[in-house]
Structure 1
């Protein structure tokens, strides 16, 4: 398999993951919306309440966005810390400040 076939397969996998992520968000919004209707005892009488749906959808999307941004920033911090520790160990040979990054000494 050459580079371009790999790239096409990766693009297809990415599109599939984005589609599944969007579908899971939609299912979560609907599940939380229905649970909210039952919580406020509106479910048997009214199944479509646009104001409630927009409120639930907004809260759910904001919560998912905050969680995603937190995870992205944490992974960025972890990546930066790992690179700095690997460079520190490489140039000084001392791993005093980088005790949790033991794989750097094995791979360099």
Structure 2
């Protein structure tokens, strides 16, 4: 499950980066938020990579912590859209956020059963 989460986070980060490039020089607020969101999904991927290493070392508490962190990064992205009046949270991003959170929930449940 961790590998699937990493694929989701990486794919979403790349998607957000491509959306930023498509905007060109227009709409600086949207570009800023998309760029920051891409970074958050990169951090989610990093946290999931760390959890994979934790699992290999049988450090289940740390694995749980890293998976929980990965699950929180999409919420940070969602909240950034709320800070800017007029920015609409894209439905595609909402779908991806939900997917990553669900994947992390399953992974967290598995890790908790290992401990």
TM-score normalised by L of structure 2:
0.30
TM-score normalised by L of structure 1:
0.31
Report 1 or 2 for greater relative contact order, CA contacts < 8 Å, sequence distance ≥ 6: 2
Greater Rg by CA: 1
Q: Tell me which protein shows more helix as a share of its residues.
A: 2
